[in-house]
Amino acid sequence: MSSVESVWFTGRRSPTARLRLFCIPYAGGGASLYREWAPALAPWIEVQPVQLPGRESRFDEPPLTSMADLVQEILDPIGPYLDLPIAVFGHSMGALIGYELVRRLQRRPSAMVSALLVSSHPAPHLPQRLPLRHKMNERDLRASVKDLDGTPQSILSNDALMDLFSPLLRADFQLVETYEHGVPTPLRCPIYAFGGTSDPYVSKDELRAWGVHTNAVFQLAMLTGDHFYLKTRSDQLLSYVFESLAPGACPR
């Protein structure tokens, strides 16, 4: 494995894997979010958490604020991983990145994309209905991040840590909020959408709208919880993920 590959993908390579699952984090999040997924899923699934610039082991790198630039940066290092069928999971911001990545990968004849799994993000063609957080002043940005309830209190209550963390959040919000969907090209792979029943930011209808972006199977599952239900309902989510990726996956 080259050094470029290892920077982006933090999972262990498995000689017995039959499918690779790339997992993309939410705004401000890192690859460690998916640390426990590999042992929780089947041994034939190789989990590859995606480490984006500007966080955790890549903290010294500037985060990217353009969706097109970010996806382009991923395309080269992902090449050696396309010798197996792949699937992509993304939560919140990660769902949008995953969608754009799969759109690009399906142009490659060598890429065998089995599924896109999206979590807690409206379908990409829908208009923004939330305030533009990347344009907020620092006080309002921090209040908005607190309301999201995905950042540890140990960071939120520490001004020095927030001074380090808020530029990354602002960059990630800019990436999402300046995204332009363009001409729709339905995916050839299934899309599986997941959301929290009490998520104040993403509705069931906004999740269901992902169905127009595939010519294959679409399924939606709602789990008890808010925007970050994947932390409190991880076992249930992983069960759904496994069912979605299992050979001969069928509607639940």
Tens-digit pLDDT string for the chain (252 aa): 444 567 999 999 999 999 999 999 999 999 999 999 999 999 999 999 999 999 999 999 999 999 999 999 999 999 999 999 999 999 999 999 999 999 999 999 889 999 999 999 999 999 988 788 887 787 887 777 777 766 767 676 677 777 788 899 999 999 999 999 987 789 999 999 999 999 999 999 999 999 999 999 999 999 999 999 999 999 999 999 999 999 755 444
* Among 32, 92, 110, 114, the one annotated catalytic: 92
Predicted pLDDT at 3:
46
Q: Contact 33/39 with Cβ under 8 angstroms? A: no
Task: Write down the CATH number for the domain with range 3-127+183-245.
Answer: 3.40.50.1820
pTM metric for this prediction: 0.92
DSSP classification of residue 173: H
Residue 92 among the catalytic residues: yes
In sequence order, what are the beta bridge partners of 88? 22, 116
Residue ranges per structural domain of the chain:
3-127+183-245
pLDDT in the model for residue 149: 65
Which residues, including other chains, have CB under 8 Å from residue 94's CB and lie 6 or more apart? 23, 24, 25, 26, 29, 50, 119, 121
